[in-house]
Amino acid sequence: MFDALSIARDLVRCPSVTPADAGALGVLENLLKAAGFETHRVTFGEPGTADIDNLYARIGDQAPHITFAGHTDVVPPGDESAWTHGAFSGEIRDGFLHGRGAVDMKGGIACSLAAVLQYLADHGGKPGKHGKGSISFLITGDEEDLSVNGTVKLLQWVAARGERFDHCVLGEPSNVEVLGDCIKVGRRGSQSGTLYVDGIQGHVAYPQRAANPVPDISRLIVAISDEPLDHGSAQFQASNLEFTSVDVGNTASNVIPGQARARFNIRFNDHHTQATLRELVEARLARAAGNRIKARIVWEPSNSNVFVTEPGSFTDLALAAIEEVTGRKPELSTSGGTSDARFIASYCPVIEFGLVGQTMHQIDERAAVSDLEKLTRIYRGILERYFA
């Protein structure tokens, strides 16, 4: 029951490619119920999206309340014949647990569950000093896809019940090279958009009768992205705007296209909000386009805002637990992409610490058995310090 490797293996054997659950939440729910947790399976959906099953479980009803968050959904395995071991085999070979989700992030969930079960077994089945405290699990099923029917709505559902979290540990694979090298304490925000430039379609032999948007969009791409958005801040690296595609939808070589479009994404730091960022980019576009070029930006909806958990007692106790097990003092980092921590940060301070992320999303994803054991001990150390 308290073995992270066994729990992780059982989770990996559930082919829970978003939006399928494939029994993964049931594995966790059964163990949590047996340990005395009050569990809730909550399904959310909306038109145009798949219904997503989520799990919330809590033991205790007093503060302080620490929650362990994660997702059991995984990305597709790709060409399964290319895997050395089956993508959902959960095979243990050569000191590694093999399979999709072993690192991202079923292994991390298994370690947090094993640590909590061990802690409760050693403390009379109750969290905190004299039973005063709460531990919960916030597990979603759509982090790898749209992230609309998972953590966002589950957090709202918990809040509507009158519950609040004091701190959160998210078990995403935060470490870069070796266990203990990095804690994520923040993330840059993310904003995407599409630049449209309108021209006039025509025959290439008669350019005077047309207006070619291709040279214009090339100039605008340079004008928008050439100048830095900022030079970084105390907690974050510099924001960056990257164009990711340019298209005119034209299959003919003798036709000047009538429109060109270019998609881009911005990863932004705490110098900006989504509103001020859009204003900055729109101003650059207006200056470069002038009155001649007909251009506009269509912004995509985004719930990926910048956040940071400031150093303090919570990060200190996590650092101490990690250093005790690994002998390393991890960097407090805000690098990388987005995660569900961006939603959790609106409810309580959150840190991300899990396994080493080198093989996540890859063929032959795998987690070292020794790392699963160490991560369980680290989570156990966090609990002991948290409720001390």
129 pLDDT more than 80: no
Of the residues 275, 299, 323, the one at which a domain ends? 299
The model's pLDDT over 291-326, given as tens digits with 9 standing for 90+, comes to 999 999 999 988 888 999 999 999 999 999 999 999
* pLDDT reported for residue 1: 53
The percentage of residues in the chain with a pLDDT greater than 70, rounded to a whole number, is 100
User: What is the reported pLDDT for 90?
Assistant: 97
Same-domain check for residues 329 and 348: yes
Range 45-68 average pLDDT:
95
Instruction: Note the pLDDT of residue 136.
Output: 98
* Average pLDDT in the chain: 96
| Number of structural domains the chain divides into | 2
Using one digit for the tens of pLDDT, what is the confidence trace for 154-189? 999 999 999 999 999 999 999 999 999 999 999 999
Residue-level pLDDT at 86: 95
Same domain, 314 and 166: yes
Write a three-state SS string for the chain.
CCCHHHHHHHHHCCCCECCCCCCHHHHHHHHHHHCCCEEEEEEECCCCCCCEEEEEEEECCCCCEEEEEEECCECCCCCHHHCCCCCCCCCEECCEEECCCCCCCHHHHHHHHHHHHHHHHHCCCCCCECCECEEEEEEECCCCCCCCCCHHHHHHHHHHCCCCCCEEEECCCCECCCCCCEEECEECEEEEEEEEEECECEECCCHHHCECHHHHHHHHHHHHHCCCCCCCCCCCCCCEEEEEEEECCCCCCCEECCEEEEEEEEEECCCCCHHHHHHHHHHHHHHHHCCCCEEEEEECCCCECCEECCCCHHHHHHHHHHHHHHCCCCEEECCCCCCCHHHHCCCCCEEECCCECCCCCCCCCEEEHHHHHHHHHHHHHHHHHHCC
The structure tokens listed for 10 are 């059982």
Both 199 and 330 in a single domain? no
Residues 221 and 294 in one domain: yes
Q: Are residues 235 and 199 in the same domain?
A: yes
Domain end residue (candidates: 266, 299, 332): 299
- Do residue 165 and residue 212 come from a single domain? no
Task: Tell me the pLDDT tens digit for each residue of 111-120.
Answer: 999 999 999 9
The more confidently predicted of residues 19 and 337 is 19
Q: Label residue 77 by pLDDT band (50, 70, 90).
A: very high
pLDDT tens digits along 335-347: 888 899 999 999 9
Binning pLDDT at 50, 70 and 90, where does residue 146 land?
confident
Final residue of a structural domain among 277, 299, 321: 299
Is the domain of 243 the same as that of 121?
Answer: no
Q: How confident is the model at residue 245 (pLDDT cuts 50, 70, 90)?
A: very high
Asked if residue 193 and residue 176 are part of one domain, the reply reads no
pLDDT of residue 215: 97
**Same structural domain, 143 and 123:** yes
Indicate whether 281 and 375 sit together in one domain.
no
Domain containing 260 equals 189-299
Alpha-carbon dihedral of residues 301, 151, 382, 36, nearest 10 degrees?
Answer: 170
Enumerate the active-site residues.
73, 143
CATH number of the domain residue 315 falls in: 3.40.630.10
